[in-house]
Amino acid sequence: RKYVYLFEEGNASMRDLLGGKGAGLAEMTNLGLPVPPGFTITTEACNEYSATGRFPDGLEEQIRDALKVLEEKTGKTFGGLENPLLVSVRSGAKVSMPGMMDTVLNLGLNDRTVRALSGVTGDERFALDCYRRFIQMFGDIVLHVDFNGFESILEKHKKQHRARYDHELKPEHLKEIIKEYKNLIREKVREEFPQDPFEQLNRAVRAVFESWNNPRAQVYRKVNRIPDDLGTAVNVQTMVFGNMGDNSGTGVAFTRDPATGESTLYGEYLVNAQGEDVVAGIRTPHPIARLQEEMPGAYEQFQKTCSLLEKHYRDMQDIEFTIEKGKLYILQTRSAKRTAAAAVKVAVDMVKEGLISKEEAVMRVEPAQLNQVLHKRLDPRAEIRVIATGLPASPGAACGAVVFDADEAERRGNEGEKVILVRLETTPDDIHGVVAAQGVLTSRGGMTSHAAVVARGMGKPCVCGCEALSIDYREKRMTVGDLVIGEGDLITIDGSTGKVIMGAVPLISPELGEELRLLLRWADEIRKLGVLANADTPDDARRARDFGAEGIGLCRTEHMFMSQDRLPIVQRMILARSAEERGEALAKLLPVQQEDFYGILKAMDGLPVIIRLLDPPLHEFLPKVEELAVEVNTLKLSGGASEEIAAKEELLKKARSLQEFNPMLGHRGCRLAVTTPEIYAMQVRAIVQAAVQLKKEGYNPVAEIMIPLVMSPKELEIMRGLCMEVIRQVEEETGVRLEIPIGTMIELPRACLLADEIGKHADFFSFGTNDLTQTTFGFSRDDAEGKFIPQYIEKKILPDNPFAVLDRDGVGKLVKMGVELGRGANPKLVVGICGEHGGDPDSIEFCHLAGLDYVSCSPFRVPVARLAAAQAQV
Ligand code: ADP
Ligand code: MG
Ligand code: MG
């Protein structure tokens, strides 16, 4: 079996086998770009290694053969004492996992080859610098000696020799450092630093294989939903050197601005540096534009390469390069991670540039990412006190309590506290803290530092390189001038401007930008699935409409009963001892309900508004039994007025009689109207009268009535009769004719099973997948989500939380059955979904596949749904 591919043997389509980095290096090699020669060990080799713990048969020979080819190409010899070949050993999985796995540079150096390198380059400092770096990386990654141990030795010597930067260390200093590094290794792992280059290579490859399963890579995969069984490829590549003096350097650049999408080269580089110096945030790098002055030739070539790669891949690229004595080498290219705002702008721009089609543009933006464009911003009216300004590394504003450590961030975050993770710089080991935080603030590192990249990837606000902050982990505080900010103090960061602000600044919700509107219009042209919104108030309705909702798929009426002025009337209605008393209370509710519906129908003029009649059990409108009991007792003990006591006691008695063991399965939904039809009758009257009123005013109200929690055709038949009667009455009274469809929510398994019978009485079905998920699984959501679903996911019993991502296997099957049976009975039946799943891209795809007519979701998810619906179509 072939486990090793020379770069020239691969291409961009071989990501599964060669990993993203390997496939990119191969593609670039074949494009004729200046890529140092190398080869890739396949992900299959990694997976076999993971399974058996040893190299698969033949791998070692294939590596040796490939090395021979490198030797021929470069004229250098691996382990050679004249002109030694050095290589990097670079991890690279199918999907990029920035900073998660390991890379070793300058491999092949030992006590003898380092002298040869110094001889052949005539630069002893350089050779020793490489060796020092190699021992450190090898020690860290392969031998698992704590990185900080090496760093403190280095720092100690830098201080001692007054070297501000690594490259200011003299050869004799480097020699001392190397000696101490070796001692450290001997002390920690009780072995000598390995001198045999082949042993070095073997062990480095193994370490990269093993890094696939290191804890931070596992967390990263979990967060980003990357499968665990992909494995990583290993790239072995001839070293080129950015640390050979002032005409050398190393850097990373994006072909466009990854925060805004603007079409300008964007990146950073460091002169006389190697490898990860740029991202590690050790020295503050220069912006790429400065390269034009410092090394014009290399800059021009780099610029050309960038535009070539962008055209070739037809996407924005993230490119790593090194300049060795003025000569440019390209070390990596990949499709760039970007903020949602940048993704939208790049996609739209590339259509305008003729690079991609509208369909492709629509596919280029991750729907879930769109939530980010809808970034929170600082309320411009708020007075703010800026305490420092760093780099605007990931847009959006966030506020929270300052926390200096990832574990603490996670702990507080899990308790629901909002925190801002503040670090000197972040490393991959902090990732769980970033996950838990609202935003990230660092005092070191540039726009491509770890914190910045990770935060952008997660769509979290980040300010980095805020050097004015001096952070003290031990004392758990940071200071700016005289100001001391301790753990738990509230701050606000604005990742769009880099501002760090004292206290919690009010944040405001976002609007759709022009480019996003355009992209979504293209999505609308493509998609077949309708997108409606769940909205209960005229304000929500307007927002939904502005975000592109084509109507309201679920207008709940219960909150309309909850407000302070209405609750007493509702309670009187519940406590009524006679039909008359109830009638009086309902008569008072009628005009206010009518006003509610008037507002919403007007806001959605011309678009459908599906109004669901009252759903929750009536006891939700009464105080809790325990509270009432306490109140009654207190009144009695304090000698309260007897009338008051009697009233409370009556309330208590009623509350007791309405108490339910399992309210979710209790006396709710249309069951309320089976026993007390007057409530629904009042609501229907309010809807119809509001519509009539609007019609008379020249509007075009499109009201629809939805009956909740139906489980039998007979139920719906009765409800339909009830509604029709009221509609007819109002029509007669007003002389206005209305077309008001009547449909039902499908949220019980029995309704799906009997959908053919139920469909005969319905103009539409709307799958209420929240309840349908509860009743299909037999899970009470409130008990399940926090308590055991996480474990179900952990143990792989469930792939996802079924309340967030529609369960295609079970609930989905019922939905499909309901659609088929319902349409069979009534071909004109309109079918949609109005659970929270309506805003989840994966569930939206399912709805498209199941042939639904529309999804309905919360107003903020409408743009997401429009995009996801289009993607399902493409
Ligand atoms: P990551 O996946 O973390 O970006 P890489 O494998 O890309 O890791 O390596 C990190 C950096 O190491 C590269 O950006 C580059 O600067 C440096 N590097 C890797 N291979 C070489 C090489 N053959 N010559 C010079 N520098 C290299
Ligand atoms: Mg790395
Ligand atoms: Mg890289």
Q: What average pLDDT score do residues 394-410 get? A: 93
Measured CA to CA, the distance from residue 121 to residue 83 in angstroms comes to 9
- Predicted confidence at residue 225, as pLDDT, reads 83
The two structure tokens encoding residue 105: 């540079």
Residue 556 sits in the same domain as residue 638: no
Band of the pLDDT at 764, cuts 50, 70, 90? very high
Tokens 């007390």 belong to residue? 676
Q: Is the pLDDT of residue 388 over 90?
A: yes
130, 555, 834, 857: which one is catalytic?
Answer: 834
Better-scored residue on pLDDT, 393 or 743: 743
Q: What is the mean pLDDT of residues 489-511?
A: 91
- Shared domain for 191 and 281, answered yes or no, is no
Determine whether the annotation assigns residue 768 to a binding site.
Answer: yes
pLDDT of residue 250: 94
Average pLDDT over residues 170-189: 96
Nearest to 588 by CA among 612, 562, 567: 567
Mean pLDDT of 616-638: 90
101-115 pLDDT, tens digit per residue, is 788 999 999 999 999
pLDDT at 488: 95
H, E, C per residue of 82-110: CCEECEEEEEEECCCCCCCCCEEEEECCC
770 plus 783 within the same structural domain: yes
DSSP-derived letter for residue 193 is P
Report the pocket of ligand 1 as residue ranges, CB < 6 Å.
Answer: 36, 88, 90, 99, 103, 105, 237-240, 250, 275-276, 320, 322, 331-332
Same domain, 323 and 303: yes
Query: At a CB cut-off of 8 Å and minimum separation 6, what does 497 contact?
Result: 389, 392
pLDDT digits (tens, 9 = 90+) for 810-851: 999 999 999 999 999 999 999 999 988 998 999 999 999 999
Q: What distance in angstroms lies between residue 624's CA and the mean position of ligand 2's atoms? A: 57
First to last CA, the chain: 37
How far is Cα 635 from Cα 645, in angstroms, rounded to an integer? 7
Say if residue 594 is exposed, middle or buried (CB neighbours under 10 Å; 0-12, 13-18, 19+): buried
Out of 167, 173, 286, 450, which one is annotated catalytic? 450
3-state SS, residue 434 = helix
Measured CA to CA, the distance from residue 498 to residue 209 in angstroms comes to 38
- Whether residue 352 lies inside any domain: the answer is no
Radius of gyration of the chain from its Cα atoms, rounded to whole angstroms: 33
Helix, strand, coil percent content, the chain, rounded in steps of 5: 50, 15, 35
CATH number of the domain to which 284 belongs:
3.30.470.20
Query: Is the confidence at residue 807, as pLDDT, over 90?
Result: yes
Asked if residue 49 lies in contact with residue 199, where contact means CB atoms within 8 angstroms, the answer is no
Would you list the DSSP string of 678-710?
A: HHHHHHHHHHHHHHHHHHHTT---EEEEEE-S-
> What confidence score (pLDDT) does residue 784 get?
86
Q: Which of 478, 508, 538 is the last residue of a domain?
A: 508
* Per-residue confidence (pLDDT) for residue 623, from 0 to 100: 86
Choose the weakest-confidence range: 306-315, 391-400, 733-742: 391-400
- The number of residues in the chain equals 874
Which protein residues have a CB closer than 5 Å to ligand 3 (ion)? Answer: 320, 332
Please give the number of the atom of ligand 1 that sits closest to the Cα of 87.
Answer: 23
Q: Do 736 and 850 lie in a common domain?
A: yes
pLDDT at 595 over 90: yes
Q: Whose CA is nearest to atom 3 of ligand 1?
A: 99
Are residues 664 and 654 located together in one domain of the fold? no
Number of domains, the chain: 5
> Residue of the nearest CA to atom 6 in ligand 1?
90
Q: With respect to residue 433, please indicate whether it lies within any of the assigned structural domains.
A: yes
Residue in 90, 180, 198, 86 with CA at minimum distance from that of residue 132: 180
281 is in an annotated binding site: no
pLDDT band at 854 (very low <50, low <70, confident <90, very high): very high
Residue 254 lies in a domain: yes
DSSP string, 453-476: HHHHHHT--EEE--TT-EEETTTT
Q: Give residue 539's pLDDT.
A: 85
Asked if residue 356 lies in contact with residue 389, where contact means CB atoms within 8 angstroms, the answer is no
Distance 490 CA to ligand 2 centre (A): 33
pLDDT-wise least confident of 194-198, 377-381, 681-685, 777-781: 377-381
- The answer to whether residues 265 and 397 belong to one domain is no
Q: Please say which residue of 238, 261, 292 terminates a domain.
A: 238
pLDDT per residue as tens digits for the range 548-568: 999 999 999 988 888 778 889
Determine the structural domain holding residue 138 and report its residue range: 4-238
For residue 92, the ligand 1 atom closest to its alpha carbon is 2
CB contact at 8 A, 345 and 353: no
Average pLDDT over residues 683-690: 98
Of the pLDDT bands very low, low, confident and very high (cuts 50, 70, 90), residue 145 is very high
- Residue 832 main-chain phi, psi, to 5 deg: -140, -175
361 domain-assigned: no
Residues 734 and 785 in one domain: yes
Out of 428-432, 628-632, 698-702, 867-871, least confident range? 428-432
Atom of ligand 1 nearest to the CA of 91: 6
pLDDT of 720 > 90? The answer is: yes
For residues 832 and 813, give the distance between their C-alpha atoms in angstroms, rounded to a whole number.
Answer: 15
| Domain-located, residue 362 | no
Q: Please name which of 88, 73, 92 lies closest in space to residue 23, comparing C-alpha atoms.
A: 92
Which one of 609, 633, 659 terminates a domain? 659
612 is in an annotated binding site: yes
| Active-site residue flag, 167 | no
Residue range 284-299: average pLDDT?
Answer: 92
pLDDT score, position 706? 98
Measured from the CA of 90, which atom of ligand 1 is nearest? 6
Q: Which of 635, 632, 731, 722 is nearest to 679 (CA)?
A: 722
Q: Whose atoms come closest to the Cα of 141: which ligand? A: 2
Average pLDDT over residues 531-558: 93
At 471, give phi and psi (nearest 5°). -105, 130
Cα(861)–Cα(688) distance, rounded to whole angstroms?
Answer: 29
What gap in Å lies between CA 365 and CA 367, rounded to an integer? Answer: 6
Among protein residues, the one with the nearest Cα to ligand 1's atom 15 is 275
> Is a pLDDT exceeding 80 seen at residue 282?
no
User: Model-level pTM?
Assistant: 0.79
- Whether 279 has a pLDDT exceeding 90, the answer reads no
Domain contains 358? no
- pLDDT tens, residue by residue, 745-762: 999 999 999 999 999 999
- Compute φ and ψ for 364, nearest 5 degrees: -80, -15
Does 266 share its domain with 144? no
User: Does 365 map to a domain?
Assistant: no
Q: Which of 663, 659, 658, 653 is nearest to 629 (CA)?
A: 653
Most informative mutation of 18, 21, 88 for ligand 1 (most atoms within 8 A of CB):
88
Q: Ligand 1: distance of its center to the CA of 40 in Å?
A: 14
- Is residue 140 marked as binding? no
Give Cα 600 distance to the centre of its chain: 32
Confidence of residue 280 (pLDDT cuts 50, 70, 90): low
What is the mean predicted confidence (pLDDT) over 328-357? Answer: 94
Say if residue 425's pLDDT is above 80.
Answer: yes
**Average of per-residue pLDDT across 38-61:** 97
Residue 733: predicted pLDDT? 97
Q: Which of 790, 620, 744, 837 is nearest to 222 (CA)?
A: 790
9-18, 40-49, 466-475, 805-814: segment of lowest average pLDDT: 466-475
In the residue annotation, 450 being an active-site residue is answered as yes
What pLDDT is recorded for position 281? 58
| CA angle (67 as vertex; 62, 73 as ends), nearest 5 | 135
The answer, yes or no, to whether residue 426 has pLDDT greater than 90, is no
Answer yes or no: are the C-beta atoms of 222 and 304 closer than 8 Å. Answer: no
Please give the Cα distance from 568 to 651 (Å, whole number): 11
Task: Please state the rounded mean pLDDT for residues 410-420.
Answer: 92
Residue 430 assigned ligand-binding role: no
Whether residue 203 is found in the same domain as residue 104 = yes
Residue 361 has a pLDDT of 97
Q: In CATH, what number is assigned to the domain containing residue 474?
A: 3.50.30.10
Q: What is the CATH number of the domain that holds 692?
A: 3.20.20.60
Residues 312 and 166 in one domain: no
pLDDT band for 702, please (50, 70, 90 cuts): very high
Co-location of 748 and 758 in the same domain: yes
Percent of the chain with pLDDT over 70: 99
* C-alpha 682: how far from chain center: 44
Average pLDDT for residues 273-301, to the nearest whole number? Answer: 85
Q: How confident is the model at residue 457 (pLDDT cuts 50, 70, 90)?
A: low
**How many Cα atoms are found within 13 Å in the side-chain-facing hemisphere of 517?**
7
CATH number of the domain that 226 lies in?
Answer: 3.30.1490.20
Note whether residue 501 is domain-resident: yes
